Amino acid sequence: MIRFKIRLALILISASVLLLFGYISSPGQELEAPPEPLPAPPTNVVISDDPNDDGHTTIVSWQLSRDDGAGLNNVMAYEIFRSTSPEGEFLQVGVMGKGLDSYIDRGEKEKTRNGEPNPRYIGAGIDYYYKMRAKSTTGTYSEFSELVVGQAKNNWYHTGKTNIMIAVLIFSGLVIYFITAAKRGKELYVRPIAGIDAVDESIGRATEMGRPILFVLGTGTAADLATIAGYTILARVAKMTADYQTKVLVPVNEPVMLAVAQETVKSAYMEAGRPDMYDEQNIFYVTAMQFPFVAAVCGLMIREQTATNFYMGIFHAESLILAETGAITGAIQISGTDQLAQLPFFIAATDYTLIGEELYAASGYLSKEALLLGPVKAQDYAKVILLTLLGLAVITWSFGWGFFKSLISTIS
């Protein structure tokens, strides 16, 4: 406490001394305090539009003050001011350290704030006036730079995304090419995927045992890609169960997923010529929350004694709870997910696992349809391109040739 008092006293004393000094040395009082040399202001200030935004940002660039890093060498920072009129009130919008020669002025998007005009707002097509000054290391300021004016524009193309656009176009081109090639009757080979090969056998087993099959589409949303891949496998499973007259249970945790799963199973039964076998009650909504859903599915496994369990889609922490409960009942379990964190548990606790990309490839593999196999081939070609580029880049770069490295860097 005492120490604080002493410090406070010291601070107060030094502050009053400073104040006094400031009073004495203020203009008008011709005292002989040595005039400190002021830094020169930055020059050639230019206001341009940020080409990749929706009209709320400008870019301020300038030439460094001649005292920045040279001359008096006393510039510490630059201060940037903006106003909507040349003689209006200028708002300090940014500070940049010495040696820097541009500033991105990101305005706010709300015209008004709490019913009053928002001073930080920047809108498209409005003239904004800027001026700048340099701040010296001792806290003095240069003159203001000349007043300049500029506008922000609402832009229609993001120049920084051209690379991604090219990548999308190339990849889409590959996909479409291989689909048409396959349609023309070109044979496409797909390597065996153990998890998918086991589907038929596991359904046969459930039929022999006279027990139902469980299909869990995960705890993602209905439109997630892994869930959509799950529907394809569900369609296949449902078609087979219709043939074998085995019951398939599909508990879901999302109403949209419920609708899709019902449609999928219904269509599969119709395709198998057994629409009479379809029972909507077997595809049911439990609850949207993760753990209540898991509790109910675990209970279902034990009470219905499901012989084969499928887990296809997005899974979170529940993956291991489901897989271990399934192991207790002695069910054959086939899983597939693109969630990296859950793959280890599926691999350890289920019999077969579709790892990441294998899940997406499963739809093509299952149907053997040219339309669905084409994209798989395109994926592989994209991989070849990547492998080659990456290999070349790393090797050549290590020997000092940076061409491929910079090529990849610009692409990504």
Partner 1 sequence: MNPDNPKMGFFETIANIDRRVIFLFIGFAVIIPVLLSFSCTEEATPIVQAVYDEIESLPEGSKVLISFDYGPSTVPEVQPMIDALLRHSCEKNLKMYMMALWGTGHNLISESMQDIIEKEFPHKIYGVDYVNLGYKAGNQGLINVILTDMKKMYTTDARGSEIDAVPMMVDIRNLKSFDLILSMGGGFPGIKEWVLFGGDPGNIPVAGGATAVSAPLLYPYYPRQLLGLLGGIKGAAEYESALIKGYPKFKTHSHPAIDMMGPQTVAHIVIVFFIVIGNITFFIGRKREEGEKREGGVIK
Partner 2 sequence: MRRQIPLYIVLVCGIVFVIQFFIPSHESEFIFEYGQDWVMVIGILALPLGIWSYLRKTWLTAVKKPKERFFAGVSLFGFAIMMLTGLKRESLMAGSLYMELFEYVLIPIQATIFSLLAFYIASAAYRAFRARSVIATMLLGTAFIVMLRLIPLGPISDVNQALVGWILSVPNMAAKRGLLIGIGLGAIATCIKIILGIERTYLGRD
Partner 3 sequence: MRKDLVWLFAGILFFGLLYLLNWGVKAISTDLLVWIGAFLTLAILSFLYQDNAFYKFAEHLFVGVSAAYWMCMGFWNTLVPNLIAKLHPPIVKGVLPAIAEKPPEYWYIIPAALGIMFLMRLSPKAPWISRWALAFIVGTTTGLNLVRYLRSDFLGQIKSTLIPVIVVENGSLSVGGSFSNIVIVVGVLCGLIYFFFSKEHKGLFGVASRVGIYILMITFGASFGYTVMARISLLVGRMRFLLGDWMGLLQ
Q: Does 327 bind partner 3 (CB under 8 A)?
A: no
Out of partner 1, partner 2, partner 3, none, which partner does residue 76 contact, by CB within 5 to 8 A per kind? partner 1
Q: Does 104 bind partner 2 (CB under 8 A)?
A: no
How many angstroms separate the CA atoms of 319 and 196, rounded? 19
Q: How far is the CB of 216 from partner 2 (least distance, A)?
A: 16
Q: Which of 99, 179, 141, 225 is nearest to 371 (CA)?
A: 179
Site for partner 2 in 231-270 (CB under 8 A): 231-232, 235, 254-256, 258-260, 263-264, 266-267, 270
Q: How far is the CB of 126 from partner 3 (least distance, A)?
A: 23
Calculate the CA 394 to chain-centre distance: 26
Question: Taking contact as CB under 8 A, which single stretch among the options 29-37, 127-135, 150-158, 339-347 is the one that binds partner 3?
Answer: 339-347
Site string for partner 1, 10-29 (x = CB under 8 A): -x------------------
How many angstroms separate the CA atoms of 255 and 288, rounded? 8
Site for partner 1 in 274-333 (CB under 8 A): 328
Counting residues that bind partner 1 (by CB under 8 A) gives 12
Residue 234's H or E segment, with its range, is helix 225-244
Out of partner 1, partner 2, partner 3, none, which partner does residue 405 contact, by CB within 5 to 8 A per kind? partner 3
Q: Does 368 bind partner 1 (CB under 8 A)?
A: no
Contact 323, 345 (CB under 8 A): yes
Give 50 or 358: the residue with its C-beta nearer to partner 1. 50
Size of the chain, expressed as the number of residues it contains: 412
DSSP strand E in 137-270: where? Answer: 148-150, 213-218, 248-252
Give 256 or 395: the residue with its C-beta nearer to partner 2. 256
Q: Could you tell me which residues come within 8 angstroms of residue 152 by beta carbon, excluding any fewer than 6 positions away?
A: 49, 50, 53, 55, 56, 57, 58, 107, 122, 123, 124, 125, 126, 128
Out of partner 1, partner 2, partner 3, none, which partner does residue 155 contact, by CB within 5 to 8 A per kind? partner 2
Q: Does 24 bind partner 3 (CB under 8 A)?
A: no
Give 2 or 384: the residue with its C-beta nearer to partner 1. 2
Give 53 or 79: the residue with its C-beta nearer to partner 2. 53
Could you give the C-alpha distances from 343 to 117, 219, 357, 361, in angstroms and in order? 53, 15, 12, 17
Q: How far is the CB of 116 from partner 1 (least distance, A)?
A: 20
Q: Does 273 bind partner 3 (CB under 8 A)?
A: no
How many angstroms separate the CA atoms of 104 and 94, rounded? 9
Q: Does 340 bind partner 1 (CB under 8 A)?
A: no
Beta 112-113 vs 283-285: how paired, if at all? Answer: unpaired
Q: Which of 290, 309, 313 is nearest to 301 (CA)?
A: 309
Give 78 or 365: the residue with its C-beta nearer to partner 3. 365
Q: Does 405 bind partner 3 (CB under 8 A)?
A: yes
How many angstroms separate the CA atoms of 254 and 268, rounded? 21
Contact 105, 129 (CB under 8 A): no
Site for partner 3 in 178-207 (CB under 8 A): 188-191, 193
Q: How far is the CB of 343 from partner 3 (least distance, A)?
A: 6
Applying CB under 8 A, which residues contact partner 1?
A: 1, 4, 7-8, 11, 76-77, 95-98, 328
